[in-house]
Amino acid sequence: MGAIKVTDSNFQEEVLNSDVPVLVDFWAVWCGPCRAIAPVIEKLAEDFAGRAKVAKCDVDNNMQTPIQYGIRSIPSLLFFVDGEVRDQVIGGVSERELAKRLDALVGQAA
């Protein structure tokens, strides 16, 4: 299935109203580190299917949501549970680290 695309218009429905934890990758096409982490994001989407959502928000095409969450650097990864930011990572980070953080939130949401 892969990561879902979230936009200013569907962010509320897909992320804030989600009944499972959501990892949102704020990224842009021109961002090298964003492209480097993209395969990790896709793998996490597969690994956590059914337990959590993994989403991508293109900051160039969706201005409102990144501003709302104070996104100043990309990639920025925000972890949401019950519509609230519970964790955040800025910049490139290992798949293992992201999986560990997402696993912790899946455990809290159970």
- Catalytic residue numbers read 31, 34
Q: Whole-angstrom Cα distance, residue 42 to residue 74?
A: 17
Q: Name residue 28's beta-bridge partners.
A: none
Q: Closest Cα to residue 86, out of 71, 106, 66, 72?
A: 106
User: Across 1-110, where does the E strand assignment appear?
Assistant: 4-5, 22-27, 53-58, 76-81, 84-90
Neighbours of 106 (CB within 10 A): 15
Both tokens assigned to 46 = 């597969």
